[in-house]
Amino acid sequence: MSELKLMKGNEALAEAAIRAGVDAYFGYPITPQTEIIEYLMNERPEKRTGMVVLQAESEIAAVNMVYGAASTGKKALTSSSSPGISLKLEGISYLAGAELPAVIVNVVRGGPGLGTIQPSQADYFQSVKGGGHGDYKLYVLAPASVQEMADFVEDAFDIAFKYRAPVLILSDGLIGQMMEKVILKDQKSRLTNEELIEKYGDWAVTGKKGRERNIITSLDLQSEKMEARVHRLQKKYVQMEKEDLRFEKINCDDAEYLIVAYGSSARISQKAVELARAKGLKVGLLRPITLFPFPKKELFKLANQVNGILSVELNAGQMVEDVRLSVEHKVPVEHFGRTGGIIHTPEEILEALEQKIINNGSIRHHKTRESGIL
């Protein structure tokens, strides 16, 4: 039976992982995501579903445990927060290179360095531009509610196994820590080893019973083979853009101005849109749900309609670069963000929109450019 509960985002994600039939979780404590491993340890998932939960000696060990379980076709999950994700990047690069399905959760806090334990979106670049070494990308899901913290676990594993690629759930300290009602799905059973071998026996290392051996590796010392591997990865990323791009449009139909925001910034920006509408300003919100793939084409289309775009983020200006690339200078694009763990208010966002976009000659600017007089 599905169930309605009041939960923290981190707890909802942990409970959803058990219910989604995840085989293993490996993690290491770090604020503000520690509730995930605490919840799992408390729930004794090994008794509920047979799920393995292990506190690793480091984030590095945890992500490599995920690599080990994933190389055998098991659904393996790890979570951390920003400094811990930096440590996991080596393993994430190996997961991508060895083409392994796995899910990594980042409940982002402010940085750089030890930074702060307060919410932030300053890991955008790290998440969508690769992060670790080599030519790879992560499929990145950005939840904006406790419900999505729960729902995205299963979505993430579906994508991870569809592409045999690591998937990142990019949350933040706000979504992870806040409590909301959440509808939890029914318990799904884990794959039996026989079912797993049936499904993934063509690549997973499970012991070579009745088949040629399998090898999981990211190493190709022959350049041509390595280039073929890189090309294979890039094909996946193109396919992700075609088939698995996700975004949400709020009040965009008649919008003259656009806010682009994801995760907790999108939640707050939605309120800013309401405030703007109450003042008679036609403002819409585009919420990328996947940060890679990014809704480039949708933004390009909207750029024909709106007079200016404000990228609202909890950082010093990261996603704004992708917004600018997407609209190809058709309209002015500005950034508004708070850092250090400070969360912007809806009023601040509206004020920034008015100052940076609406009252900044953006319409004139835009028209001048279009007429080629600039």
Partner 1 sequence: MEALDIIKPENQVFCKSQLMTDTPLSYCPGCGHGTANNLIMEVIDEMGISEDTIGVAPVGCSVLAYDFMNIDMTQAAHGRAPAVATAIARTWPEKYVFTYQGDGDLAAIGTAETIHACNRGENMVIFFVNNGIYGMTGGQMAPTTLEGMKSSTSPYGREIETMGSPLKITELIANLPGVYSVSRHAIHTHKHARKAKIAIRQAFENTRLKKGLSFIEILSNCNSGWKMTPNDANIWMEENMFPYFPLGDIKVEGKLKV
Q: How far is CA 34 from CA 13, 40, 81, in A?
A: 12, 10, 9
Kindly state whether residue 193 participates in binding partner 1, applying the rule CB under 8 A.
Answer: yes
**191/363 with CB nearer partner 1:** 191
Kindly state whether residue 200 participates in binding partner 1, applying the rule CB under 8 A.
Answer: no
CA 267 from centroid of its chain's CA atoms: 15
Can you tell me which of 183, 219, 228, 238 binds partner 1, judged by CB under 8 A?
Answer: 219
Distance, in Å, from the CA atom of 228 to the CA atom of 210, rounded to the nearest integer, reads: 28
Query: CB atoms < 10 A from the CB of 212, how many?
Result: 7
Kindly state whether residue 23 participates in binding partner 1, applying the rule CB under 8 A.
Answer: yes
**222/304 with CB nearer partner 1:** 222
Can you tell me which of 28, 39, 67, 163 binds partner 1, judged by CB under 8 A?
Answer: 67
**209/242 with CB nearer partner 1:** 209
Decide if 266 contacts 285 (C-beta within 8 A).
yes
Kindly state whether residue 90 participates in binding partner 1, applying the rule CB under 8 A.
Answer: yes
Distance, in Å, from the CA atom of 302 to the CA atom of 312, rounded to the nearest integer, reads: 17
Distance, in Å, from the CA atom of 41 to the CA atom of 54, rounded to the nearest integer, reads: 8
Stretch that binds partner 1, among 53-61, 172-180, 286-294, 347-355 (CB under 8 A): 53-61
Can you tell me which of 29, 38, 52, 274 binds partner 1, judged by CB under 8 A?
Answer: 52
Binding mask of the shown chain, residues 255 to 294, with x at each position contacting partner 1 by CB under 8 A: ----------------------------------------
Can you tell me which of 29, 31, 60, 162 binds partner 1, judged by CB under 8 A?
Answer: 60
Kindly state whether residue 214 participates in binding partner 1, applying the rule CB under 8 A.
Answer: yes
Q: How far is CA 25 from CA 65, 188, 221, 275, in A?
A: 9, 16, 32, 42
Q: 50: phi > 0 → left, psi -120 to 50 → alpha, else beta; which?
A: left
Kindly state whether residue 57 participates in binding partner 1, applying the rule CB under 8 A.
Answer: yes
Can you tell me which of 10, 33, 49, 64 binds partner 1, judged by CB under 8 A?
Answer: 64
Distance, in Å, from the CA atom of 88 to the CA atom of 80, rounded to the nearest integer, reads: 9
**55/251 with CB nearer partner 1:** 55
Query: Measured on CA atoms in the order 173, 174, 176, 177, is the torsion positive or negative?
Result: positive
Least separation in angstroms between residue 111's CB and partner 1 is: 23
Kindly state whether residue 26 participates in binding partner 1, applying the rule CB under 8 A.
Answer: yes
Least separation in angstroms between residue 170's CB and partner 1 is: 23
Residue 252 CB partners (closer than 8 Å, separation 6+): 258, 284, 285, 286, 302
Kindly state whether residue 94 participates in binding partner 1, applying the rule CB under 8 A.
Answer: yes
Distance, in Å, from the CA atom of 128 to the CA atom of 263, rounded to the nearest integer, reads: 14
Query: CB atoms < 10 A from the CB of 189, how many?
Result: 9
Burial of 205 (0-12, 13-18, 19+ CB in 10 A): middle
Kindly state whether residue 98 participates in binding partner 1, applying the rule CB under 8 A.
Answer: yes
Report the run of H or E that residue 335 belongs to, with start and end.
strand 333-337
**19/190 with CB nearer partner 1:** 190
Stretch that binds partner 1, among 10-18, 70-78, 292-300, 358-366 (CB under 8 A): 70-78
**What type of residue sits at position 167?**
V
Residues engaged in binding partner 1 (CB under 8 A): 23-24, 26, 52, 54, 56-58, 60-62, 64-69, 71-72, 74, 76, 90-91, 94, 98, 193, 205-210, 213-219
